[in-house]
A = this chain, B = another copy of it.
């Protein structure tokens, strides 16, 4: 059994807590949140202890691994303390909102040869993983063009948006990782176009709600990422991989398989699974399982610190492209 301390009892923390509960080889030992009532409520549901402090949580010798699901600005500190305390660390994305902090964090923890996993859960989605498997096997020959459509069902609160780091760091970051996951080479060039289409107040924040990012690898493979903060029909998560011998598509999922056919429309299915907690339920379970397996085997997790860093690198390059209005080279390291 792997003992866990969980930092953060918000939506994503609760999700991890329940996945630990259901996992046959995991145990939730300590729970910490700056909002103590949130921690206590989750503790009642899960049977975990509420840690009075971060130190206390990390000091518990039963705690072998930590999950960081608190707000982004706490990530670097918790990662560093967790690694120093000898814990395996799972951290929700992003590591930080700027590359300098990420790099500084790495310099701090590298000497400890940390077992670190970043929360790019989509890699563990059964459909995305199946697509990756088939692309690696070149089932339809080499990849020629990759298209990622990623639209949220609706805008988060303006308050959230203010602290989000901008659409490219907050939302596209997952798609940057998906592109890197699926492409056979690192992207070398980035181009970006972004607009305010749904929420005029975003303009004041210098943020956007609609964006298209183009990536290009050394050999010329293009990846197109299309984002929108709002898609009234639900959480739209599609990938399309044009290969030499055809294409592979990942479509959307729905809560049930009932279709309505009437005089106005045929084949009308349910709206899409609303958001990431529903759509990626299985991938959250599987990323936890992969983390536990990495701990048990003492091997690096399948998606690590450098993956978190690389996605941010692309986000920053995309912001430079936006500012300059043109192609931007991605730093090679």
Binding site for B on A (CB under 8 A): 22, 126-127, 130-131, 134, 139-140, 144-145, 147, 149, 151, 189, 191, 193, 195-198, 210, 212, 214, 216, 220-222, 224, 226, 228, 230-234, 236, 242-272, 324-327
Contact = CB atoms under 8 A, between A and B. Distances in A.
Nearest to A209: B144
Given A151-B242, A197-B144, A263 B214 contact: no
Nearest to A322: B327
Nearest to A251: B257
Given A197-B221, A232-B140, A266-B254, A249 B261 contact: yes
A197 B214 contact: no
Given A212-B224, A233-B246, A268-B268, 20 more contacts: A22-B22, A127-B256, A127-B257, A147-B149, A147-B226, A151-B242, A212-B222, A232-B244, A233-B261, A233-B266, A246-B261, A247-B262, A249-B258, A249-B261, A252-B266, A260-B265, A265-B269, A267-B267, A267-B269, A325-B326
A203 to B, nearest CB: 10
A246 B196 CA distance: 17
A247 B233 contact: yes
Contacts of A254: 266
B193 A222 contact: yes
A259 B249 contact: yes
A189 B193 CA distance: 10
Contacts of A147: 149, 226
Which of A151, A198, A247 counts the most B-chain CB atoms under 10 A from its CB?
A: A247
Contact of A266 (B134, B222, B270): B270
A262 B130 contact: no
Counting from the closest, the 5 A-B pairs by CB-CB distance are A326-B326, A246-B262, A195-B220, A233-B261, A265-B268
Contacts of A249: 258-261
Given A256-B127, A266-B268, A221 B195 contact: yes
Contacts of A265: 260, 265, 268-271
A263 B232 contact: yes
Contacts of A210: 144-145, 220, 222
A206 to B, nearest CB: 14
A126 B232 contact: no
Contacts of A191: 191, 193, 214
Contacts of A261: 233, 246-249
Nearest to A242: B228
Contacts of A269: 265-268
A180 B81 CA distance: 56
